[in-house]
Amino acid sequence: MGEQPIFSTRAHVFQIDPNTKKNWVPTSKHAVTVSYFYDSTRNVYRIISLDGSKAIINSTITPNMTFTKTSQKFGQWADSRANTVYGLGFSSEHHLSKFAEKFQEFKEAARLAKEKSQEKMELTSTPSQESAGGDLQSPLTPESINGTDDERTPDVTQNSEPRAEPAQNALPFAHSAGDRTQGLSHASSAISKHWEAELATLKGNNAKLTAALLESTANVKQWKQQLAAYQEEAERLHKRVTELECVSSQANAVHTHKAELNQTVQELEETLKVKEEEIERLKQEIDNARELQEQRDSLTQKLQEVEIRNKDLEGQLSDLEQRLEKSQSEQEAFRSNLKTLLEILDGKIFELTELRDNLAKLLECS
């Protein structure tokens, strides 16, 4: 695969409300992984975040984008292509600063890549303009075809900032979860990523096998047509040999021509054998392709089962979090009751002490 992750962090993901353009709408229930990806084939940088199997962020970085820090732990940027504004809530100011530094770094890299692409397009367009008779035409660039990113950017996403952002205490950071809760979460995430990678690989292999199958089918049809033509030619040649044998006045020429025709027939028969062997080989390749298709279907079914198991694990995780919160509440109530009981016990002990002192005084007086 040409696209690889180059930096990852965890944050809560938000998007601006498309109706009001003011309020933030959370797109993840908890902190998720947010990664920078680099596509070496297209030379572009992207920000991608997945919540389970759903992509909640898929933003291509352009030179005109700006990442803005709106608080110590919250930042945002506008994506004109997706026509939205993304917001990220981090667990610390350090994580926010690191993400902002990477954003600026990859934004500069995207700018340099765009300039190189424009230079290449100008160089390739210049010879074609000179060969066309010296017509004065400007070279085609992405900006002249689709408009610049500034022209395509809606006023709402570029010129206006959201008036409201998530409060710091509203970000549901679950740092108090137990070891078992973290284990279940990491296991489900690792299994899901593994099968997603397997499925992507199988999809690529399936596309290649499909193309090979179509090409093989076309070749088989072509060879069948050639085989039929060779058979017709062989029949015609045999008829011609018979006709020539009937002509006694040209016996010597007939024998010579007959030998040539026999040789041609033998060559055609050998060619037919080779084509038949090639057809058998292609049939075997088709059978192998079908087996791979069945394996892909089996792995797809396994992936679906893993996704169902992942959902079950998420349900168990949510149940454990609720139990943990309930247990903490019960512990707080128990501590409060214990504190009250200790205060009452201290009072009783003090009263008993006074009673003992009074009894001792009475004994001394008597």
Domain hosting 102: range is: 3-117
Is 333 among the domain residues? no
* Structural tokens at position 363: 């004994």
Average pLDDT over residues 32-48: 90
* Structural tokens at position 98: 């690191």
Picking from 236, 230, 234, the residue whose alpha carbon sits closest to that of residue 275 is 230
Specify the higher pLDDT residue, 159 or 213: 213
Is 39 among the domain residues? yes
Angle at 200 between CA 197 and CA 204, to 5 degrees: 140
Which element (helix H / strand E) includes 246?
Answer: helix 179-246
Instruction: Find the radius of gyration of the CA atoms of the chain.
Output: 39
* H helix intervals, 63-178: 93-131, 142-146, 149-152, 155-159
In the predicted model, is pLDDT for residue 68 greater than 70?
Answer: yes
Is 25 among the domain residues? yes
User: Which stretch of 41-50, 143-152, 181-190, 353-362 has the lowest confidence by average pLDDT?
Assistant: 143-152
pLDDT per residue as tens digits for the range 289-347: 999 999 999 999 999 999 999 999 999 999 999 999 999 999 999 999 999 999 999 99
How many angstroms separate the CA atoms of 86 and 98, rounded? 17
Q: What is the CATH number of the domain that holds 44?
A: 2.30.29.30
pLDDT per residue as tens digits for the range 247-269: 665 566 667 778 888 888 988 99
Is 343 among the domain residues? no
Contacts of 348 (CB under 8 A, 6+ apart): none
Quick one: pLDDT band at residue 47, thresholds 50, 70, 90?
A: very high
Q: Is 160 left (phi over 0), alpha (psi -120 to 50) or beta?
A: beta
In the predicted model, is pLDDT for residue 169 greater than 50?
Answer: no
Count of domains observed in the chain: 1
Is 18 among the domain residues? yes
* Structural tokens at position 311: 């959902």
Is 27 among the domain residues? yes
How many angstroms separate the CA atoms of 15 and 23, rounded? 9
Is 360 among the domain residues? no
Is 99 among the domain residues? yes
pTM recorded for the entire structure = 0.36
Quick one: pLDDT band at residue 43, thresholds 50, 70, 90?
A: confident
